[in-house]
Amino acid sequence: MTCIGMILAGGLARRMGGGDKPLVEIAGRPILRYVIDRLRPQCRLLAINANGDPARFSAFDLPVVADSVEGFVGPLAGVLAGMDFAAANGAADVLTAPGDTPFLPADLFSRLEAARKRAGARIAVAASHGRTHHAVALWPVALRHDLRRALVEEGERKVSAFIARYPNAVVDWPAEPYDPFFNVNKPEDLACAVAIAKADRRG
């Protein structure tokens, strides 16, 4: 538990009609509560990256960290906020995950860290079902100045493109009985999330 966890909740949720996706409930609990419960045992400290009034997240009793790069430039700004927050709290690494992924694996940090060490990589990224989830990653805080430069001076917006600049390791998780990186993007995803949550409780 040497890393800081940063939950990326700064998206505009256009496909959900706007608002805060992590506050949408599945099976009677906000999506964000699922994310917190999955990450808390894996991280020394958790925080939420979100812009606007932080009071809307007060029920979760976590620090809320806004983007330091203005203009809603995407998840890379949240990664930078995580790196800066981790640096301020004396951590060498930050584990990021979107706030709409309620079923994250319990071995997320341990497997990413092991793969990064094994490959001699700088960044480790999660994957499942043939897809790489670039926002679910373990990042070294030492890259924060590079990331700020990429965002502010170079206009970089793609998480995958920034990751590709450095040696990286991709770690694959099985997608059965459900994809641990399933995210709630559209209203129709809610029914699937509810089914997974109920099955997971029974299991």
pLDDT tens, residue by residue, 90-118: 999 999 999 999 999 999 999 999 999 99
**DSSP strand pairing (93-98 vs 131-140):** antiparallel
* Tokens found for residue 68: 């330091």
Structure confidence by residue, pLDDT tens digits, 111-151: 999 999 999 999 999 999 999 999 999 999 999 999 999 99
d(CA 182, CA 101): 6
pLDDT average, residue stretch 23-31: 93
Q: What is the mean pLDDT of the chain?
A: 92
Residue 25's pLDDT is 93
pLDDT at 21: 87
According to the model, what pLDDT value does residue 13 have? 46
Asked whether residue 19 carries a pLDDT value surpassing 80, the answer given is no
Higher local confidence (pLDDT), 17 or 201 = 201
Distance CA 176, CA 198 (A): 15
CA angle 64, 107, 43 (to 5 degrees): 30
Per the rule left: phi > 0, alpha: psi between -120 and 50, beta: everything else, 160 is: alpha
The residue-averaged pLDDT of 12-16 equals 45
Percent above pLDDT 90 for the chain: 82
pLDDT value at position 16? 41
Rounded Cα distance between 128 and 190, Å, is 20
Length of the chain: 203
Q: How large is the average pLDDT for residues 197-203? A: 71
DSSP 79: H
Neighbouring C-beta atoms of residue 179, cutoff 10 Å: 17
